[in-house]
Amino acid sequence: MRIGLDYRPALVNREGIGRYTRELVRALHALNFDPNLGLFGYTLRGPRFSKRELGLEQSRAEFLRMRLPSRAMPWLLKKMRKGVDDLVGGCEVYHHTQPNLLHVREAKEVVTIFDCIPSLDADNPEGPGFMDPEAAVRMTASAKAMVARAQLVLVPCRYVGAEVVMSLGVSPERVFVTPLGCDHVLSHLPPGGFPAPSTPFILTVSRVDCRKNHLRMLQAFERLVSDGFPHRWLVVGPAGYGSEDFEIALSRSSVADRVEWRKDVGDAEVVRLYSQADLLLWPSLNEGFGLPPVEAMACGTAVVSSIVTSIPEVCGDAALLVEPTDVECIFEATRSLLTDEAMRREYIERGARRARELTWAECARTTLLGYQAARDA
């Protein structure tokens, strides 16, 4: 069985969708499936990751990269009267790792849908405001078109599977769950661990946008500082939609000198920060999976996260889950883990067990089963 795969996210995106694409291909290589892979990448940007970072140094997968903007690809395929499956030398199944409308001529199609968040704001003035409305409309239309023609829709958890059925109109028998992994962080963990930081800190790793809830986290952190906690708050992630609200609030905050926002941090450095942090604070308002909490668990760090959407399914009892719209709840949970060492140790142990269950090898194995189901559909 030969598989074509949209490799573009791996080339340009350091966050969730890029991580997923890189680690899936790396795990397929470890399963000796890479000779059956045709990878297609298309971007005008120069290389952001080395072949070693991409995991392609020893890979036998065929990799075609075209220096073209993504918006030009549909036009080019139409002009050439080709499908994207032709560009990878032909394949039985083509895997769209992102909802991007590229023509497939003969292969069966599989698409990964990570969440249905854009549909919440698409043509909905009463939506939560997580995204730019025009982008939400465009992304929702693209996702609907993709799932309509795909033989199988891969989702990272059962919660997103239910969303895909209700929001995108996919029949349940075409939904296939392939949980993500978190063991990629282990390669950056030194045998003896990292030294303790000079000043204790709380960590948040995520894009700074409305959905990630930074404004309420800032209010909770202000409460911690007023209670005498010596911690800093380190925010790691690029600016996203609505980040200016957080920037303004931070500039006016009484604890601004205790908050550091790092917008571009490499993988190894993020792992060090996970390992050294007293806890990961991550009460997101909506997630399709959410890698940072389980990455932090793999690094031996306690997690405060959210009790809504996919997070309870992904984290189970391994994170202290709170109502994300309640600043008092966020504050109390954070204070509890910082002051109760026995509780913090219990959540660290639970987190380590949960992290061991989420591997990219298992994601690759279940994805292969999905490819077989799509081929035979």
Give tens-digit pLDDT for 219-272: 999 999 999 999 999 999 999 999 999 999 999 999 999 999 999 999 999 999
**Does this model's pTM top 0.85?**
yes
Angle (CA) 69-70-75 rounded to 5° is: 95
Question: Contact, 119 vs 288, CB < 8 A?
Answer: no
d(CA 272, CA 112): 30
Task: Give pLDDT, residue 214.
Answer: 98
* SS3 state at 178: coil
Question: Contact, 221 vs 202, CB < 8 A?
Answer: yes
Give tens-digit pLDDT for 273-316: 999 999 999 999 999 999 999 999 999 999 999 999 999 999 99
Angle (CA) 265-287-17 rounded to 5° is: 50
Give me the domains of the chain, ranges plus CATH numbers.
3-181+359-376 (3.40.50.2000), 184-357 (3.40.50.2000)
Average pLDDT, the chain: 95
Is the pLDDT score of 96 beyond 90? yes
Percent of the chain whose pLDDT exceeds 70: 100
Question: Contact, 183 vs 357, CB < 8 A?
Answer: no
d(CA 172, CA 157): 13
Give tens-digit pLDDT for 176-200: 999 999 999 999 999 988 999 999 9
Give tens-digit pLDDT for 7-39: 999 998 877 899 999 999 999 999 999 999 999
